[in-house]
Amino acid sequence: MLEHNLSIVGSVTIPVDHCLLTLPDAEPEQLQTVLSHPQALHQCSDFFKANRQLSAREFSNTAAAAQFVAEQKDPSLAAIGSFACAEKYGLVIHAQGIQNRKKNFTRFLVISRENICTPECTRMSMVFRLSHRPGSLIHALNHFAQRNINLLKLESRPIPDSPFEFVFYCDFSGNYEDDNVQAAMGRLPMDLISLKFLGNYPEL
């Protein structure tokens, strides 16, 4: 999004329930290797600790892992995926809810070529870069705190080809048309090297 002129127009949070998917005729004692996306494998690390006879193998994504298991027809292979993956590729759910945290969610963003802002938009996202001086981050964030705007998310990301320098990705609550948001955004550029507003959008 830093390289292209795209905007966030919505945010969707979906619960994630990881399942161990096997061939219909696979017996538990036959299972040896479990395939899935690295993040899914990480989120199920407790399951692997409790089943040390199983080895984890990284795959491009959960759906591709399920498809591979179905195509190979090898009863020693299993995949970590969803109910939908099991149904689509003719696999059975050998174990359900194997993720470490039962309340497991993934947030997805809806991206558009056009920036859409309506009164229902309650979340704002932006990326900015600060100068190297003490207190620069807190000084920038204070523009929002002083106007009672809630900080929802803050992450730093390294800048390629600029060792030990970072950009900051942040989410705030509010609507861009609100007076306090306008006031904060008006003061913010004075503390920044660069700023890209990513969107003001509803949480669907």
pLDDT at 1: 84
pLDDT at 151: 96
pLDDT at 28: 92
Given the DSSP bridges, would you call strands 123-130 and 77-81 parallel, antiparallel or unpaired? unpaired
Burial class (CB in 10 A: 0-12, 13-18, 19+), 73: exposed
E strands in 47-145: 55-58, 77-81, 92-96, 105-112, 123-130
pLDDT at 23: 98
Alpha-carbon distance 102 to 83, whole Å?
16
pLDDT at 73: 96
Reduced to 3 states (helix: H, G, I; strand: E, B; else coil), residue 27 is coil
Alpha-carbon distance 41 to 62, whole Å?
10
User: Which residues have a catalytic role annotated?
Assistant: 106, 108
Reduced to 3 states (helix: H, G, I; strand: E, B; else coil), residue 136 is helix
Our measurement of the distance from residue 137's CA atom to the centroid of its chain's CA atoms, rounded to an integer in Å, reads 24
Q: Which residues of the chain carry a pLDDT beneath 50?
A: none
Percent of the chain with pLDDT over 90: 78
Which residues, 6 or more positions from 112, have their beta carbon under 8 angstroms from its beta carbon?
A: 6, 7, 8, 9
pLDDT at 37: 97
